[in-house]
Amino acid sequence: MKVTFPHMGNMYVPIKVLLETIGVDYVMPPFCNKKTVEYGVTHSPEFVCLPFKTMLGDFIHGIQNGADTILFCGGVGQCRLGYYGDLQSEILKSIGYKVEFISIDLTNMTVKEVMEKLKILTDGKSSSKVIKGIIYAVQTIFMVDKLYQLANYTRCREINKGYTDNVMKEFKNRVQNAKGYKGIKNEIILAKRMLKAIKIDRNSQPLKIAIVGEIYAATESYINLDIERKLGNMGVEVCNKLGVANWIMEHFIKNILPIKSKNMPHEAGKEFMRTDDIGGHGLETIGNAILSGKKEYDGVIHLYPFTCMPEIIAQSTFSEIQGKYNIPIITLILDEMTGEAGYVTRLEAFIDMLRMKRNFCKSSNQTETDAT
């Protein structure tokens, strides 16, 4: 048996840890690129969202390189993600690929049910090895997310431009070749140490922007045209509210804890949408925009793939949120036809507007102080 899986941001790192700890052979697709998207677009329904197409491209590449089993995280609720697995499985059959399709719904399954789903992969492996693999994978998710947060902090403050990008590029290359939990953990620690050694301007007060929206568009750098790196190099500190670690915490770890705690963005989102679910991360998008306004972020960037219904609903609340919480919000819609030049122009214009707004507020406050 040889397993393949789709990419979504840095999710490949914990999946490597999981499969290598359990002892499962796998094929990791290349990082998302033009060819991956072309594979997916060729065989997907025209108006399905970009994550569907891109993941299908990952599966095809994995199968063409020897994989006979697909590991996929599905979902429930009103988002189309709930039927991705079945539809992709049928498409692969229709183009002649016969593979085992394992779809895990982490939002609605216990640890026991997850292990039951993974049984086809873990047949003949000891339970302790499987549990160890899951624990190591979860620990790795949090370590990797923290590393990327540190990179976002450093990039906008570094004195010598490009150092953070070089460290993260080297980390990405090395971690692909690292083996097992220990090897990957060492690479994360090394990259963290290198980031901390970069000289930064400690007096710098960069603009602070929150990224909200659909999780795949917000975390997959090829799809969002590397927005975190672009903003960082424009001197902006980015806080991505859709990290994979956050998703695992809210939808898996909290579900198995005996004491339940509320998902703060989800609860905050109900102020403008009095329901428990509008699909996907729609309510969290509204809630994160509100919380960003309350925490005095300079702005919010909303990302979602073309035709994503939950995010279209969320977007309809933004004019009210901007007025009530005095937080500028820009929405960027992504698909396979998105052009980089126009995208960057919109980002630059938004950043310029935020800088002018900050300077105007500062001068207004100074004038009031002088008057008193």
For the record, the structure tokens of 264 come out as 């703060």
Q: Report d(CA 284, CA 295) in Å as an integer.
A: 16
pLDDT single digits (tens) 338-369: 899 999 999 999 999 999 999 998 888 777 77
Of residues 221 and 113, more confidence is placed in 221
Cβ atoms of 286 and 273 within 8 Å: the answer is yes
Q: Of 98, 29, 38, 73, nearest to 244 (Cα)?
A: 73
127-131, 154-158, 208-212, 351-355: least confident range: 127-131
Over residues 24-53, the mean pLDDT reads 93
65-79, 142-156, 188-202, 314-328: least confident range: 65-79
- What's phi and psi for 351, nearest 5 deg? -65, -45
Q: What is the DSSP string of 86-150?
A: HHHHHHHHHTT---EEEEE-TTS--HHHHHHHTHHHHTTS-HHHHHHHHHHHHHHHHHHHHHHHH
Q: Report d(CA 236, CA 229) in Å as an integer.
A: 9
Over residues 231-245, the mean pLDDT reads 93
pLDDT single digits (tens) 82-136: 778 888 999 999 999 989 988 877 666 677 777 777 788 888 888 888 889 989 9
Over residues 305-319, the mean pLDDT reads 94
> Which pLDDT does position 76 carry in this prediction?
59
Residue 276: CB atoms within 10 A of its CB come to: 10
Per-residue confidence band for 70, with pLDDT thresholds at 50, 70 and 90: very high
Residue with tokens 């052009």: 339
220 pLDDT exceeds 80?
A: yes
- What's phi and psi for 166, nearest 5 deg? -65, -40
Cβ atoms of 219 and 242 within 8 Å: the answer is yes
Q: Which domains, from first to last, does the chain contain?
A: 3-135 (no CATH), 206-371 (3.40.50.11900)
The alpha helices in the chain, defined as continuous H runs, are 12-22, 34-43, 50-64, 84-94, 111-117, 119-122, 127-155, 163-177, 180-196, 215-219, 227-233, 244-248, 254-256, 264-269, 282-294, 309-315, 318-325, 340-371
Cβ atoms of 277 and 283 within 8 Å: the answer is yes
Over residues 179-207, the mean pLDDT reads 96
